[in-house]
Amino acid sequence: MDNSKNIYLFLFYNGEILVQKSKELIHIPLLNDISNLPIEPTALHFIGSFNDTACYVGILKTTNIPDGFFLRQPRQLYGYLKNDLMKFTLRSFHLVNWLKNNKFCGRCGGKMVPSTDELAMKCTDCDFLVYPRLSPAMIVAVVKDHKLLLAHSNKFPSGRYSVLAGFVEPGETLEDCVKREVKEEVGIEVKNIRYFDSQPWPFPDSLMIAFTAEYSSGELSIDNNEILAADWFSPDNFPDLPGNESIAKRLINWFTNIEHSASYHSPMPK
């Protein structure tokens, strides 16, 4: 590891990251913040630089955390870290899970070590390279008659609804995935699929690619497997929704904004 003390340390224990709190602010600790403390990180790996500062990810051996430091779920840090640093924190979470899951070669069973040339793990026996896993997934806001399609998944808390999402399958385009997932989960066809934005979502290793679409045909018919309920909602009767950190909420906010705009510009009733 670089001997400089100006180094970010993204240290994890059971999926939680070590953060420092001072003057009501949350920080990712630097090496000089913990160098004299009884914190013993292991398996340190260089994962890039943030604002010209080297960044390492590692594992904590113990939960014996000194005063002024805390363990937090990465998602709990939204709104407390600056946006660019939050993105790098999520990158570190993605990579620490990748490192944890690739200690041995999937081809020959040999030991894997970090490559010196690129962000990859390399087998010491057969030189097989493993790169960080990235799972593309679509997420889509489907609109019909000034209402938004929202669904309750079996993975959600009770009462929580969101827009539809699903992983891209081999051989699919993103647009094909949108059509297939919507059809499989709620039984309808969509049209006018348009790209909206994207968001890394390392829970555990997704890249969310967001779209908007319009209802085309069919009646809602949920799969009763992953989706337990679905319906069309207007902004004035939305159920419980995802948090602001997710691109799902940004899609919902997009719909709300265009509906408010349409209402504002509509002619006054006679």
Say how many C-beta atoms besides its own lie within 10 A of residue 135's C-beta: 13
Give the number of C-alpha atoms closer than 13 A to the C-alpha of residue 193, restricted to the C-beta side.
Answer: 18
Tens digits of pLDDT across the chain (270 residues) = 555 558 999 999 999 999 998 777 899 999 988 888 888 788 788 988 998 999 999 999 877 888 889 999 999 999 899 889 999 999 999 999 999 999 999 999 999 998 988 999 999 999 999 999 999 999 999 999 999 999 999 999 999 999 999 999 999 999 999 999 999 999 999 999 999 999 999 998 999 999 999 999 999 999 888 999 999 999 999 999 999 999 999 999 999 999 877 654 444 333
Do the strands 206-217 and 135-144 form a parallel or antiparallel pair, or are they unpaired?
A: parallel
**Cα 127 to chain center, whole Å?**
31
> What's residue 262's pLDDT?
66
Contact (Cβ atoms closer than 8 angstroms) between residue 7 and residue 53 = yes
Six-digit token pair at 12?
Answer: 């994890």
- Options 2.40.430.10, 3.30.70.1520, 3.40.640.10, 3.90.79.10; CATH for 135-265 is 3.90.79.10
- Options 3.40.50.720, 3.50.50.60, 2.60.40.1220, 3.90.79.10; CATH for 7-100 is 3.90.79.10
Q: Which residues pair with 233 in a beta bridge?
A: 148
> What's residue 270's pLDDT?
33
Q: Do domains 7-100 and 135-265 have the same CATH topology?
A: yes
Handedness of CA 19, 197, 170, 229 (dihedral sign): positive
> What's residue 263's pLDDT?
54
Six-digit token pair at 123?
Answer: 């087998």
Contact (Cβ atoms closer than 8 angstroms) between residue 121 and residue 112 = yes
* Sequence ranges of the domains in the chain: 7-100, 104-132, 135-265
Q: Which residues pair with 165 in a beta bridge?
A: 139
